[in-house]
Structure 1
Amino acid sequence: MSAEYGGRTGRQGRLSQWLRGRRPKEAADDGGREALLLAAAAAGLPLAPAAHPAPGYRCSCDRVGCPTPARHPVSFAWQTQSTTDRGQIERWARHQPDANFITATGMVHDVLDVPLEAGREALERLLADKIEVGPVAETGDGRMLFFTLTRGTPEDEDEWWPCELDCHPETMDEHPGLRWHCRGSYVLVPPSRLPGEGLDVHWVHGPEHALPDPLSLLEHLTDACARHHVGQDGDHQSGGAWPLRH
């Protein structure tokens, strides 16, 4: 699967160089928004339209007091709507120019979602140890998203193993440390905008990189979360890592 979705080509290498230093508004200004969405779809990430920021730190949806402004899908049918079809994504991008996009996890890929500083530390260590790292995104609200192969959806449901790290949209607050987005969850995909001046979701390791096995990253990520959870004086900081090591 990783060969199918993550193989590198000269075109993808140029995309990686183009991504460096660019932010969603810059991309949108020259049509690059659509190119970024199509690159994500080409990597196997199924996409669906999402809400976008509205003036006054509000959400574009019609829900009064939306609890997750600009961070949720437009349609309740987002799981079946999500697609990698180029034509459909082009139509969405052109007809909904302000929309963010989500990618549904648990079909092709999962996402390991960690606090930003822990993620940056883990990414540096992973690259230094020459461990294959797939696409990685940073969010303006202080998270880092590591895209991996999914644990799968086997024909025999008993073979699918649950995990205490599993995170669904309604359980986000319960997982302040490491969150594992698998079946039934989603994350914003670059280029997305968040409420607040200059806040966005952008790639730091582009979608041309092959999706790795999540277990190859998990130990580095949990260790980094634990280190950032414990203060220099040994006291636990707010927003605990999960799991903590004793």
Structure 2
Amino acid sequence: MGTGNGAGTGTGVPGVAAQGAKVPVQRGEQLLDAAVRYAEERHWDVCPGTWLEAVDGTERCSCGDTGCASPGAHPTAPDWAGQATGSGAAARRMWTEQPKASILLPTGRAFDAIDVPESAGFLALARMERMNLPLGPVTRTPDRRMFFFVLTGAAARTQELVRKLGWRAAAIDLVGHGDGHCVTAPPTRIGGRGAVQWARRPTAANRWLPGVEEVISPLAYACARETADARARLS
């Protein structure tokens, strides 16, 4: 049910005109407006997830699990991927019915995502900017992770590419997300932690997504460096 946009085309948003590159307003934007914008302007599939509910003066996940690991920001059912839509009209209807629902973006459709610790992510961003490497959108989550959007197919190749650079992806805390996974989009709030934000927003300049080969070296280097520094602090 995904759009499939971006696979093998060199772009995450084929056929989008210049006016389709408007940036979702990060502060104060309603979830409904953001979901519609992602579908209509970026051609990303969107899926409503759980949300936060006030219970006895505290915010809890709508799933009902008091120990929920990601309160207000995870799929609502096993078949969540089948509920995802690339239609702005359908997204408007979904979030009108549940305006507090989190926004989930399935990976493996318009893009894959490389998931790294926030400290490594900012280090890699600075290095990539100095090198003038292409960058897609990048999200920053309240639990201090960063997700770099790249062309589809990246997740299946991440471990092998990192191995060729001399590291193990798991050992340096670098993860590729592709088919069957999702990322949480701004301005979704995760209970008790804050809101997901854009570290690099979707713009006209980054509607053409980079391939994983273009970003994996600085990302892996940054993750390895942060991992080594963390070990040194513990020794």
Normalising by the smaller structure, the TM-score range is 0.7 to 0.9
* Corresponding residue number in structure 1 for 2:189: 193
What is the identity, as a one-letter code, of the residue corresponding to 2:35?
L
CA contact (8 A) 1:6 1:43 kept: no
Alignment of 1:208-223 (within 5 A): 208=203, 209=206, 210-223=208-221
Amino acid across the alignment from 1:122: A
Percent sequence identity is 30
C-alpha distance in structure 1 between counterparts of 2:90 and 2:171, whole Å: 33
- The TM-score with structure 1 as length reference comes to 0.74
Kept in 1, the 8 Å contact 2:136–2:148? The answer is yes
Residue 224 of structure 1 corresponds to: 222
* Structure 1 residues 145-224: aligned runs within 5 Å: 145-151=147-153, 163=159, 177-196=173-192, 199-208=194-203, 209=206, 210-224=208-222
Q: CA deviation at 1:35?
A: 3.4
In 1: Cα distance, 2:209 partner to 2:127 partner: 18
Give the C-alpha shift of residue 163 in structure 1.
Answer: 3.8
Query: What letter matches 1:80 in structure 2?
Result: G
> How far does residue 75 in structure 1 lie from its aligned partner after superposition?
2.7
Task: Return the offset for 1:7.
Answer: 7.0
| Structure 2 equivalent of residue 169 of structure 1 | none
| Contact 1:37-1:190 within 8 A present in 2 as well | no
Distance in 1 between residues matched to 2:110 and 2:150, nearest whole Å: 9
Q: What is the TM-score normalised by the length of structure 2?
A: 0.77
Structure 2 unaligned regions, length at least 5: 1-8, 162-169
In structure 1, give the amino acid aligned to 2:126: E
Q: What SS is found at the alignment partner of 1:107?
A: coil
- 1:116-137 CA-partner distances (Å, limit 9, x unpaired): 1110111121122111100111
Which residue number corresponds to residue 244 of structure 1? none
Change (3 A) 1:175 1:65: farther
Question: Shift of residue 235 of structure 1?
Answer: 1.9
Residues 37-95 of structure 1, C-alpha deviation per residue, up to 9 Å, x if partnerless? 23322323211101122343521113453333223112321112212111111111222
- Please say if residues 149 and 214 of structure 1, whose CA atoms lie closer than 8 Å, have aligned partners that are also in contact: yes
Deviations 1:191-214 (A, max 9, x none): 2101116x0111122223222112
Q: Measured at CA, do residues 10 and 150 of structure 1 come closer, stay the same or move farther in structure 2, by a change above 3 Å?
A: closer
Aligned-partner SS, 1:144:
strand
Matched, 1:72 2:74: yes
TM-superposed deviation, 1:34: 3.2
Q: Across the two proteins, how many residue pairs are aligned to each other?
A: 212
